[in-house]
């Protein structure tokens, strides 16, 4: 845990710093927001910033967002000043911590950031085999490719490998290649010099340099533009990078872990991914099985998420009923562990009995998991036609409901239903569909031009297409 304290390191702030160090945090300090930005741009990253509420937190958060610096911000102030707390939260702070510091509260804040998305729970034998291999290769410096469907825990696995490596005391830096526009990703990875392009008002160190000595995670690397892949290949091979607008290379010592939810061999065949880069990254391939093939883990993970969100929402923890657990095990979980977590959070809030009953297990669109992915139910709901005969098996029913429809119609239904399931989130929908975000956006643009309603982020609709 890397903690950056922004404000005068005296009095109560100094006490908070000592508490953080006692809880294992590596603490750095600057006096002003400007100094904090200079340090972050120079590659001296942090996982959490505790900022004096007297400083301009809103401007600080805005600058972090504009420069694509991923950093949690917590405001701190002397006394229980409600107005200061409101200003801090409106400015973008995640929490407000009153001073004098409460050791338990400081420890809880640090733990919340450190534990974010780091729970790696499993019971299934297939996951045991994957974990055995991960622990075996973790101490090495070899590049690792982690593949699996969206939501299976690829980033969690990457963090586990880092913690088990000889680099665990150094930085773990993650870059989501799908979330950063192509024209900004090069600067994000390699940094830039002042004046290198319009908007480059100061020198900025990239993620390669920020991760020096530690681990760099390239999440969803299959989304990276093929032209940038050539520069990435050189950086990995030569262990040196060129900043955008720079005049000389910079040496780096990092371990690279990459993830993808696609078949990269097929991407190579289609010309979307460099074969030499795949060979360089794929020294060892860890394949994470989807949740539907890890039924032993469903109950374990569901119980974990129930306890987690019961505590987070200050409600009594309730055990899962036998019927509810049966529903969870029958569902296909296209969103895998991420979808299960979302569903259990909802179940904790909807449960009214002593146990979490079947009726509390609801998907985002209001449907029940038991029937949500049945081909018969989907066809009947989306075409308005009758359900197939009970005597027909699932494959026959699915085929019967597809006959007479064009490939374009079926594709459109699949895309819109998946987007509906993801509440309009394009990135999640593209991951589930196994297509690039660019392809999805082009498809949706075409549908909109045809007069078909397409949901925006956070929207949910049912389609008859």
For position 251, which CATH number holds? 3.40.50.300
| 226 & 262 share domain | yes
Number of structural domains found in the chain? 4
| 275 & 360 share domain | no
Residue 341 lies in a domain: yes
What confidence category does residue 130 fall into, taking pLDDT thresholds of 50, 70 and 90?
Answer: very high
Give the model confidence (pLDDT) of 184-218 as tens digits. 899 889 988 887 777 777 788 889 999 999 999 99
In b/e form, how buried is each residue of 282-309, taking b as 16+ CB within 10 angstroms?
bebebebbbbbebeebbeebbbbbbebb
The pairs formed by 365-370 with CB atoms below 8 angstroms and a separation of 24 or more are 365/420, 365/421, 365/460, 365/462, 368/327, 369/327, 369/328, 369/330, 369/331, 369/343, 370/327, 370/330, 370/331
| 271 & 338 share domain | no
What confidence category does residue 355 fall into, taking pLDDT thresholds of 50, 70 and 90?
Answer: very high
Residue 363 lies in a domain: yes
Measured in degrees and rounded to the nearest 5, phi and psi for residue 22 equal -65, -25
| Alpha-carbon gap, residue 274 to 180, rounded angstroms | 20
Please check whether residue 260 is in contact with residue 145, taking contact to mean a CB–CB distance below 8 angstroms.
yes
Residue 104 lies in a domain: yes
Residue 189 lies in a domain: yes
What confidence category does residue 79 fall into, taking pLDDT thresholds of 50, 70 and 90?
Answer: low
Residue 73 lies in a domain: yes
Residue 267 sits in which domain range? 131-287
| 9 & 109 share domain | yes
CB-count burial class (<10 Å; 0-12, 13-18, 19+) for 337: buried
Q: Which of 60-64, 369-373, 458-462 has the highest mean pLDDT?
A: 60-64
Q: Residue 393: pLDDT above 80?
A: no
More confident residue, 85 or 220: 220
| 184 & 252 share domain | yes
What confidence category does residue 360 fall into, taking pLDDT thresholds of 50, 70 and 90?
Answer: very high
| 339 & 430 share domain | no
| 272 & 304 share domain | no
Residue 70 lies in a domain: yes
| 149 & 57 share domain | no
| Alpha-carbon gap, residue 362 to 365, rounded angstroms | 8
Residue 312 lies in a domain: yes
| 365 & 308 share domain | yes
| 145 & 220 share domain | yes
Q: Residue 382: pLDDT above 50?
A: no
In b/e form, how buried is each residue of 420-431, taking b as 16+ CB within 10 angstroms?
bbbbbbbbbbbb
């Amino acid at each position: 845990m890397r903690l950056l304290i922004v404000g005068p390191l005296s009095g109560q702030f100094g006490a908070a710093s000592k508490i953080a160090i006692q809880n294992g945090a590596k603490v750095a300090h600057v006096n002003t927001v400007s100094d904090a930005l200079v340090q972050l741009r120079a590659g001296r990253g942090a996982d959490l910033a505790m900022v004096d509420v007297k400083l301009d937190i809103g401007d600080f958060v805005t600058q972090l967002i504009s420069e694509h610096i991923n950093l949690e911000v917590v405001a701190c102030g002397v006394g229980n000043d409600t107005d200061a707390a409101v200003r801090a939260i409106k400015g973008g702070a995640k929490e407000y911590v009153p001073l004098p510091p409460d050791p338990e509260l400081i420890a809880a804040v640090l733990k919340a950031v450190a534990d974010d998305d780091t729970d790696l729970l499993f019971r299934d034998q297939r996951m045991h085999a994957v974990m055995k291999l991960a622990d075996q290769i973790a101490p090495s410096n070899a590049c690792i490719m982690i593949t699996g469907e969206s939501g299976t825990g690829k980033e969690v696995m990457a963090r586990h490998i880092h913690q088990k490596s000889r680099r665990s005391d150094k930085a773990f830096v993650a870059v989501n290649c799908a979330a950063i526009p192509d024209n900004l990703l090069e600067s994000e990875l390699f940094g830039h010099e002042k004046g290198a392009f319009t908007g480059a008002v100061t020198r900025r160190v990239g993620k390669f340099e920020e991760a020096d000595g530690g681990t760099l995670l390239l999440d969803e690397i299959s989304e990276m533009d093929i032209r940038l892949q050539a520069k990435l290949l050189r950086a990995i091979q030569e262990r040196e990078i060129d900043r955008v607008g720079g005049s000389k290379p910079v040496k780096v010592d990092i371990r690279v872990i990459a993830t993808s939810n696609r078949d990269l061999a097929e991407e190579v065949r289609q010309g979307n991914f460099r074969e030499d880069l795949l060979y360089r990254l794929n020294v060892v391939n860890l394949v994470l099985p989807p949740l539907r093939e890890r039924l032993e883990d469903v109950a374990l993970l569901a119980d974990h998420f129930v306890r987690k969100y019961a505590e987070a929402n200050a409600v009594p923890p309730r055990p899962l009923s036998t019927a509810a657990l049966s529903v969870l095990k029958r569902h296909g979980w296209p969103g895998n562990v991420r979808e299960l977590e979302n569903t259990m959070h909802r179940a904790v809030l909807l449960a009214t009995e002593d146990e979490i009953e079947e009726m509390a297990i609801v998907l985002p669109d209001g449907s029940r998991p038991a029937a949500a992915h049945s081909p018969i139910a989907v066809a009947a709901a989306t075409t308005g036609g009758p359900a197939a005969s009970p005597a027909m098996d699932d494959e026959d029913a699915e085929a019967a409901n597809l006959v007479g429809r064009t490939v374009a119609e079926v594709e459109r239904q699949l895309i819109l239903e998946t987007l509906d399931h993801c509440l309009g989130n394009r990135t999640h929908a593209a991951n589930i569909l196994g297509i690039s975000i660019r392809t999805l956006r082009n498809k949706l643009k075409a549908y909109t031009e045809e007069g078909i309603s397409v949901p925006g982020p956070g929207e949910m609709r049912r389609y008859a297409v």
